Structure 1
Amino acid sequence: MDKFEKLALEAIEEGKKISYTPQDPFVSFGFSANPFLDTNLEELQKEEFIEPRFKAVVRYFTSVYKSFTDNHNKKKDKEDSFILDGVMFGINQSGVSTLIKLSHQYLVKIYKELSDCILADAMDLVEFNNNQYHIAQTIQNFRAFLGNQSSKTDTIPLIVIDHADFLIEFFEDFRYALDRDFQNVPIVFIFSHAGWVRLKNQLAFTDYDLINHMVPSQQISPLNEEEIYEILSLKLSKNNQIQNPFSEDILKSIAKNSSGSLLNAIKICSRLCEECFYNGLDLGSIARVNDITSSLSIDVNKEFFDLVTLNDNTQTFVLALIAMKSTAYDLGITYDDIVNNLGIQKTSASHHLKQLQDRRYISKRTVNRKAFYRLRPELKTLADTYLMRSFEQKETHVRLESISDLF
């Protein structure tokens, strides 16, 4: 081995010891870190329009606890199992989870009787593999999580479960299982609007007494365009000045293009910051924001999201999937792109798809004109091309080959 080969090998070995971490584009524009990674109570106080939502969530949590306590105290035998829960629901990706997390932090600090309230996230605890829920393992995960949390205190006054849509398919079994281990503890479930509608439709065909087991539900108001702009401007400002590569017009354009979703707005901001950083640009532009919006297929995804999650109506779901498949193909995006970009709970969508694939055929009664008329005009045309035409020709069943291709 000559001298140069030896030096080269030494350089290679030395290089292996050096770790390279790409610089965060936000840091290069003067931010201390990505401003969207964390939110605290102090920042929340600056967002004046959030305050009514924040107070409403805290008030609802305390009202559920009070209603449960009052009703439980009226019972003659207080050792008997008693279920009285609460439900809050809101539009997906409109900052609901952050709002719930911050409200929980506030609750345990301010209210002495609820200082041991526990917040659990169903997204982390539900087991879903091979297109099916593992109910026993999910319940075991919740037991272990709540057990570990409750070991720090004598009693649990209240449990809050975020992303409760993941529990819909086995809600009744889940609730009774928790009641056996954590008896007489009220739970507040946080659903999406579509999830809450689906749960009510599903429990209508069971023995679960939803009316007597729940206090009246409460909706968390969605964010509008102006409010999304205010959040972005607060997050992306320093000394009350919006930082490069953003500007007031750019943030207003992002808020407008976000389709009412805070998550979409954050994605556009992050992508714009990256593109400006890697292309050496000091300031973004509205044209670039529009290009990024198109590349993320936000408008298309929003239409699909409204269709797929609007309700638990199988016929609408079937038509939406057929329209989705054709439109997505034309646009060059996949089913996974739609699910991941929009945050659609793939567990629920996959569950429906699995049921449909198992049947392979669907009857005329399942897909009717009422569902057809709910679709947007351009999707009606697609659905009519793929499915409704067969029904008009008096066929009793239609094979679901196009839907099974989505897997």
Structure 2
Amino acid sequence: MLYWNEGGQQCFARWHSENGIAAHQKIQIGDDTLTADVAYRLACEGTAILYRGDFQNARQLLQALVRRVDKPSKKSKRVNKGSKNGETREKTPLDLFNLHRLSQSQRARILGMLLIQIEADHSIPLRRAPDVAQACLEAYGPQTQSYVISLRELLGVISAHEWRKKGVPILVRDDEEIRIHPHYGVFSPIRGEYIELVLKAPLPKALIESSTAFDIGVGTGVLSVVLAIREIQNIIATDQDDRAITCAKENIDRLGLSNQVKIQKTHLFPDGKAALIVCNPPWLPARPSSSLEHAVYDPGSQMLKGFLGGLRKHLLLEGEGWLILSDIAEHLGLRTREELLGWIDAAGLSVIARLDTKPHHPKAFDQTDALYMARSKEITSLWRLGIK
């Protein structure tokens, strides 16, 4: 719960944070008279601002905070240099990655200090507030009491609702555009290059005898859809996340593929064996700082190792495991190619072939991005793995 004084009274409401941020202890009421400089100072000092007044003014205040947070400091201009024992040295890619994560964490903390109270029916009691009831219902479900979230998180919920409505185009089939509709908290399939790899990779011979496939970590269901389009008849898709399960089922049903694709809530593999097992695990072996980052960060490469370790047991003879993985972790110094190949070998697997592609997302070409040197070298691969 959050507690604060307002109008001489003690007030409270339930606190919600997808980032897992603890309830703020210091809260100050802010309104349309609050200047950006004062708000920035309060946020940096650890005081959260519960906004009262005009919703659009609150958005403008957040934008002003973004400009102040993102303004380069003298220290950030020296980010590529470091000192050790009094000597200047170039920072390694791992140094830059850790600094970037620290910077992003500090940025999120400051911008998350501007708070909005939402009623139990998901309405916002502020002037010129948009109707966010459906967006919040999708993200948080029915509520029985008022709650408070950061304005930044609320804008993310609104954005996710729009993505869910219009969907993400993944491919064109028979002149018809096929779309996946991501839910809030489920990673959106905006990296289309790996979808192309799954579309083009030659199917294993074992599918002739048994048209079965497993999709490990189904997410939105995008890879199950691609496998179904490639005429695999029986697909079992798994995930542990309730939001992903709901999202995948909705997408599968919308596309009329529920006879081909079944969704199970389980850890990694379902029971039995398949001719093809596909997995697109999180690409970076680092600790996520929020529930929304679990699709990107895999602490200690746990999911990757779990997939490789269990693959042999669940593959049919002449079956294949398709591992979809970017090598950006290697360019950042988070994992080596030798480690990956060692895990594959230790699991009793061999590399049949590898299909590679270059990413074409905007950050791969943005030289101002903190991780540009790694992103510019990144290769996304589909590893075709078989039993040794």
Per the normalisation by structure 2, the TM-score is: 0.31
Rg larger in structure: 1
Greater RCO, 1 or 2 (C-alpha within 8 Å, sep 6+) = 1
Q: Report which of the two has the higher share of strand.
A: 2
Q: Report which of the two has the higher share of helix.
A: 1
Per the normalisation by structure 1, the TM-score is: 0.30
